[in-house]
Structure 1
């Protein structure tokens, strides 16, 4: 009887399938305006993210613009071997990792602290004013930000003018001191992006039931206790997800900011993978090696995201998938 029942079920599937497709087409037609709004973003990722992946094949070739993608000779993993055989690449990789972990250690927590402090502000107008002020730097381009930093820190800039006028000190070449390069980059990221980063955390805190805070006040909990036991647990999953995504870009420091801050005095400590790929791929026309470095970055980022996601799930968090 069981095989007969299964055969009947299979015989009915072709009859139900057209109806299912009809319902799906009806739902798509009903939501057609939503799909129209989604279409530009979808096309953006297809054209600018997925189609260029086809060009990654030159990482395994000795690419020549005159021979093209198809006729350039295959070299296999030779360019990837150069990544670890080249002392310059190793130094660039160390610079990239150090800068990324400095940003994670010092820049990543700042939006969390800022969101917690803003959440404790009870005067709504003052709270919105502070939010607007800290959001504004995000909308400035890195060209403008680096220009402001240069005006302040150059030898005849504002800071050196104050040091010379008030303390009689000689000008300090802040932008040419290798030890200050990475701290300056981290401070720039904190100033520019911290306010914007609070949006997600404030959205997570908006879902906290106010009765929890009221009950804690009745029980005599101090403000710090309320933050520790109510506010921080409410955004813990959000923090974990953003940290996982941040680890995926640990080899991506942002080309524009670093490139604008580089000069010959800080090149040894400031040259990262993003700028190295530019120098090798564009200025020296070593397209295959530059592509191999970029592909290496993507693979490492993918591995870190998968590993961090599994680790988060092992500790009881949701993760990103």
Structure 2
């Protein structure tokens, strides 16, 4: 594969996600396969500005495919938001003879890459790494499948307690702007109700649903709440409201929080990361730039970075209907 690119930089940026290490490994080894060099950039754009780079080869990424987090670390960079900061980052790449960049992260990371490409004409390819699965142009992002499995396992354990003590549990999962985790986890864990930002259920309807569940013979219930749900200010206020209006329920709240981000990546995330890493490097070698690698209908695809950033991921309407049927 003929190309003018001789060295590629790879970084992780924004929130960490299981599968990022697998993607780093794939990028590095694909570079090695095509006899080009690879530079690992530590701490995202901030590390790029400060020159925190290290050459990596196929052996540099051994035994990391199974590790959560990111060996390259991650950081949010206020400096990169300035033109002066981006100029320093570009100077670092030029000084280290890095010809192109692979950015593993979410929409904020892609926005940075897109601006960098516009200002300096620098080749950039994005790999979506975020557990929220809220990136347009891909059916699944790295870390999403692992986060689902982690959350379902936790809720299964909580349900044991809920059943033993006839309790109603409100369980908050991640998803500030999108309800993909809550919807899929809710269906997978058999939740009685699922509250997501895309569907404003309303307090009255929630109370009515819980009352119906109680009349039907349910003595315990699980309500999965996306952190970005708009019904209450937060999950604790929501629980207090239900407790005031349904005093017969013994209510508890559990916030799963950052445990959803950590842990060993699932097989699905490892395979997806491996496929995306190969596609990212080979796309750059083909002379293409300013794209995000995604997966749709089990086929890898390319979406322009501006569309990936500005587009909106769609919630699965059919799965919402399934959840309503299952909660009867």
TM-score normalized with structure 1 length: 0.24
TM-score normalized with structure 2 length: 0.24
More helix by share: 1
State the structure with more CA Rg: 1
More strand by share: 2
